[in-house]
Chain A
Amino acid sequence: MASENKKTYKIPIGPVHVGLKEPITAWLDLDGESITNATIRPGAIHRGIEFMARDRNPIQVISLSERICGICSFSHVVCFVRAVENVADMPVPARAQYIRAIVLELERIHSHVLWAGVACYTIGFDSAFHLGMLLREKVMDILEAFTGNRVNYGMGTIGGVRWDVTPAVNQALRDMIQYYRDEFDAFYDVVTEDPIAKARMRDVGVLSREDAISYCALGPTARASGIRCDLRWSAPYEAYGDMDIKPIVPQDYYGEVHGDVFDRFLVRVLEVYQSLDIIEACLDGLPEGPIMTEPKIPKLLGQLKKADGMGWGAIEAPRGDDTHVLKLTAGDENVTWWKVRAPTYSNAVSWPIMFKNNELADAPLIINSVDPCISCMERMLITDKGQDTGKVVTKSELLERCRDKTRRLMQG
């Protein structure tokens, strides 16, 4: 480290835009309570993962990719290994494809349940928040029973998966499906029946269809704006190749699209039910056979060393499509270069549009509605144009404002 130049000390190389729980800065311009403009400044949590990958072989990079995100860790792994399998032209056994789809859907359930709970917390609906936390435990328990871990599952490998569905796991998964079908209705009721929750979310943080298209919004954020897009349907991969998955869009259920926080809530809640159906279909149709193409790691590495070319993995992660691109060079055992694009990278571009003409009290809800990190609130700088002073509002103050608005609504 060059001591005379302190600036080079902090060297975050490579943009690793992790999906959830990341620090990101939103600069809001306010006119009174109304947000007139917003500027997003990411970049606080870059760890140089893509740079680190240059010194690692593909098997080692699996562990790196798994640690990009805490919730959709397996999505990143699948995305990465698919890109490698593309380059190496390596087949994946059918059983492994089904197991990948099961874990991907478990992850989606985890992400959406957690999100629904946190969204309720943001508007001060604490009983629903605690219910969400309770419901979330089940899927984490199942992931632990299945893979041995609750967050980074260590499940994926190049050319397959590392753990099989045993009869006990199969039964546990089926019990979980029944559990959620019985218990998850509470969130569906929040969407459809609670007037206060609806009042807080309807027509807040609107992203029009046209803006969602031109700003390249992804996943539930895009679908809530009425765009019928889902990579599981438009570009089927793994077990989705044997299934007909319909993208969930609000117009199919309510006959209209608002593109607001309510629609985003609706899409996610309905997707939980869809994921349960997919897991059930995967278990019913689970093919027999091996779960890995090449179980011997040194032999696998030998094959990968011969691979040459570029691969692109794009899958539908819980927050939208996740994209990994990489290059392998024949004769070089390490990854030549690797680019990761988590879904929030794209969805964050549309934040300024969602913020426009909304109240400050709705800001936490809007930020949360694309399912990023709530801790970003601590880094928000608010400048009040009327008073012409820059005043920093802390996370707790902002949350209190958001909850106050719910109280005002409840008092009528």
Chain B
Amino acid sequence: MKKLGIVIVIVLITGAVWGLLQSQPSEPKIDKLVLTGSSTIAPLAAEIGKRFEALHSDVRVDVQTGGSSRGISDARAKLADIGMVSRALKDDEKDLPAFTLALDGIAVILNKANPVAALDKQQIIAIYTGKIVNWKDVGGNDAPITAVNKAEGRSTLELFLHYFGLKNTDVKPQVVIGDNQQGIKTVLGNPDAIAYVSIGTAEYEAGQGAAIKLLPLDGIAASVENVRNRSFPLARPLNLVTPAAPTGLVKDFIEFAESPQVHDLIEAQYFVPAPR
């Protein structure tokens, strides 16, 4: 028994050492391109990355999410080659070179069963600050309003608050959600809910037959088309930022992402290619 134990230990240790040695990279050098940031841009960047890899066999594109703020901070700290930022850059971020990849709008959505056809800016503000709490005050049914807000740090929340001139402390929500899908599911499950989500996601879901409607804003229909011609007011640019003026591989990737070669990918994600 004693000998058997020693043999087992020796085998285990040899195995571990062998495993460690094996894990040392021995393949030829592969260039890696790391993108981090907005979860809105990440799926698109991953698709563009795949197509880019197909054209450059020695390149691997690694896309990680974490929000626009992470995109900025990773680019600044050079933890990523490219940061993804789904909003206009703030003044203290303008030193980073930015490239607008596409445009995305935010749509205010209601359940189709809700008779309200439009809300103006003041009404939306009043609903989200808890001054209007019943749909009958804006021409709807006699039913309490469920205002759906986004969790702190989301760029959709930031854009929404910025556009309506609100602070998050002013908002009195009944539900707080994380991503767009959760917002759509919440509105589907509650005919008295009001939420705001990415227009691309909302238009896609509505097109797939989900019982939601996108409210017009300032008389302009919430549609991908109106985001493209920049007439829809509640919209944002999807940016790529780099630590410094791009060179080499990073430059190639950004030029590729801005080229018409990826427009079909952008549209497949229900975004709008940035006109240039």
* A and B held together in a complex: no
